[in-house]
Amino acid sequence: MGAKVLESVERLSNGEELVRWHLLDENYQLIKPVERFLRSKQRSRAAVGTIKTYAEKLKAFWKYLEVKVIDWRDFSSSRLDEFGYWYLSGGLLLDGKAVSPKSGEILAGRNERTVNLAITVVVQFYDFHTSIGTVEDKKLRKYRTSRRTKQRGKLAGYIKQSPTETTQLRYKESKQFPGCLTSEQVRILIDACSTARDKLILWLLADTGMRRGELLGVHESDLDWTARTIKIVRRNNPNHAYVKGKERELSIADLLRDREFCEILTEYTEQEYPREVVERLGHDMLFVVLHRGSPSYGKPLEPQNLNKLLKRLHKKTGIDLKRIYPHLFRHGYATHNIREGRQKGKDKLEVAKTVQRQLGHQSIATTLDVYDHSFAEAELAEGIERVVKIK
């Protein structure tokens, strides 16, 4: 049967719920070295979703150890490439291909990004156990010395090279822009909504760049009408919506100057929002279930509720996209701000810093990497405009 990932929820004295993720063996016993690692991540305030990902990747790693009959303490850097290939190809190999144990059909392998994440988790797992002395010198890294070379790439001129530790193995990832929603598509989706709540959700996703967990984790107390901001706060929420990035304040000053947005906000908070029910349930989450006949009436919306909403709207509108998910709004927000910033004559670094701050990226390198396509498009448009002016 193999290992299993399990969620546990503990209600704290202050009323909040503490969510933990665990890895259990086939006898439903905690796999202790994994449990210690996951607890350390929790103490360092890693997002709950991130800890779940760690547990899932280590579940795959434990399966690999089981298949290869390797004690976890005996795993070495020389086997890291073997694990990477095993995981990339689906975990069950026949002549180098992943196959279904039931039907024998060829299965699609995992992509390089997913495999790199699994490798990173395994490296961090052994880093942790090396640091606490559980195992001896199991740091699966190599040391790269610094070289004084001319800076190239997206961070040219912005950072200096220095000695770094790198993971032994990394699969080359194909760089593809994840895509985004246009302002016209966002408008179509908003118009297709049947409640002010749904319109408000889409509007905030499109105009703030919030992640799904950040939006659904907003409490009424996070709204500051005087400062015209929304606070993004890391906390344990009853709907399992968690903040992944930095805590920050997002300005909604421009939104509050929009008459239509204010009308939608008022309709939701003063007419649709079941305040008495919410108060009786003992929470102040902003987005809640509105269906009166549902046992969840007044309870906070959960991430899967938002996914289902977007799936319904996609089907209703017939927008020509493979699927619509919350992050497409975030990408659209970032792309719009990059183009607008460049059109106003701001340099690339200044624009990237602004977008990084709004999106809550830990590193500016993430912003520059994810939105490399958008920066390139903005620079191309800028070049074309210069040529037209010369003519």
Give the strand order in the sheet containing 248-251: 223-224, 229-232, 248-251
pLDDT higher for 277 or 384? 277
How many angstroms separate the CA atoms of 167 and 16, rounded?
A: 37
The pLDDT of residue 149: 41
User: Residues of the chain with pLDDT > 70: what percent?
Assistant: 77
Burial (CB count within 10 angstroms: exposed 0-12, middle 13-18, buried 19+), residue 53: middle
The pLDDT of residue 179: 75
The pLDDT of residue 141: 61
Same fold, 4-141 and 175-391: no
Residue 76 pLDDT > 90: no
pLDDT higher for 321 or 102? 321
Q: Who's near 340: CB < 8 A, 6+ residues apart?
A: none
Confidence tier at 86 by pLDDT (50, 70, 90): confident
pLDDT digits (tens, 9 = 90+) for 2-37: 688 887 877 666 666 778 899 999 888 999 999 999
Amino acid in position 262: C
Nearest alpha-carbon partner for 215 in 194, 193, 200: 200
Q: Who's near 177: CB < 8 A, 6+ residues apart?
A: 331, 371, 372, 373, 374
Q: Are 209 and 357 in contact (CB under 8 A)?
A: no
**Average of pLDDT values for 67-78?**
89
How many angstroms separate the CA atoms of 109 and 99, rounded?
A: 10
Find the range with the poorest average confidence among 65-69, 151-155, 161-165, 314-318.
151-155
Global confidence as pTM: 0.68
How many angstroms separate the CA atoms of 22 and 34, rounded?
A: 8
CA distances from 32 to 28, 45, 283 (A): 12, 20, 35
The pLDDT of residue 145: 38
How many angstroms separate the CA atoms of 171 and 152, rounded?
A: 21
CATH superfamily of 175-391: Intergrase catalytic core (1.10.443.10)
The pLDDT of residue 107: 45
The pLDDT of residue 67: 87
What is the 8-class DSSP label of residue 270? I
Q: Are 328 and 181 in contact (CB under 8 A)?
A: yes
- Domains of the chain, by residue range, sit at 4-141, 175-391
Residue 215 pLDDT > 50: yes
How many angstroms separate the CA atoms of 106 and 108, rounded?
A: 7
Q: What is the rounded average pLDDT for all residues in the chain?
A: 82
The pLDDT of residue 113: 77
Residue 308 structure tokens: 């289902």
User: Residues of the chain with pLDDT > 90: what percent?
Assistant: 45
Q: Are 340 and 382 in contact (CB under 8 A)?
A: no
CA distances from 369 to 214, 227, 334, 348, 376 (A): 22, 32, 12, 13, 11
At the top level of CATH, which class does the domain 4-141 belong to?
Answer: mainly alpha
How many angstroms separate the CA atoms of 136 and 259, rounded?
A: 64
